[in-house]
Structure 1
Amino acid sequence: MPSWGLIGLLLLLLVKDAAFSDDCGALWVSLTVSPLVTTNPPRSLHVSWGNADPLPGDWVGLLNDSSALQSPLSSTEVVESSGVLDTRLQAPVLDSSSLPFTRQCLGYWAVYVRNNSTVLNSTCLGTQPTWMEEMKDEISSKKMWELFLPGTHDSGSYKLYRPKATETLVVKYSINQEDDVLTQLVLGVRYIDLRVGYYSSTEELWWVNHGVARMRPLSKLLDSVRVFLNNTREIVILDVQEFPIGFSSWNLTHSKLVQYLQSQLEYLLASPALGWNATLGELWSHGNRLILSYDVEEVVKNTSILWQSVQQKWGDQRSMDGLYTYLDGVSLTPPSGRPTAAMAQLTPNAWGVLTDQFGGLRAMAATVSHNISQNYRNAWGRHANVVAVDFLLSTSIVDVALMWNRRRTRNITCT
Structure 2
Amino acid sequence: MTGESEIGELARRWRIAVADTGFVPMSMYDLEWLLSGSLRQLITLVRNEPFDPAPAADVGAALVRANLTDPRVLARTMATLAELATTWLPPGDRVIAALGEMARGYTEELLATRARHQEMLHAAMAEARNAAEGRFRIVFDNAVIAIGIGDAQGRVVDLNPAMAAMLGVTREYLLQHGVAELIHPDDRAELRRRVTDLLGIGTGTVRMELRYPRPEGVQGWATWAITLVPEQGGRAAYLLAVGEDTTERRELQAELHRQARLDPLTALPNRRQLVEVLSGIGVEAGQHDRIGLCFIDLDGFKSVNDTYGHGVGDRLLAAVSDRLTAAVPEALLARVGGDEFVALIGPPCDSERVADIAGQLLAALTDPLPVDGHRLMISACIGAIVTLVAGADAERLLDAADAGLYRAKAAGRNRWVLHSADVPARVRGLG
For Structure 1 versus Structure 2, the TM-score category normalised by the shorter chain is under 0.3
Question: Which one scores higher on RCO, CA 8 angstroms, separation ≥ 6?
Answer: 1
Mark the structure with the bigger radius of gyration: 2
Structure whose residues are more often helix by fraction: 2
Please, what TM-score do these two structures have when normalized by structure 2? 0.25
Structure whose residues are more often strand by fraction: 1
Please, what TM-score do these two structures have when normalized by structure 1? 0.26
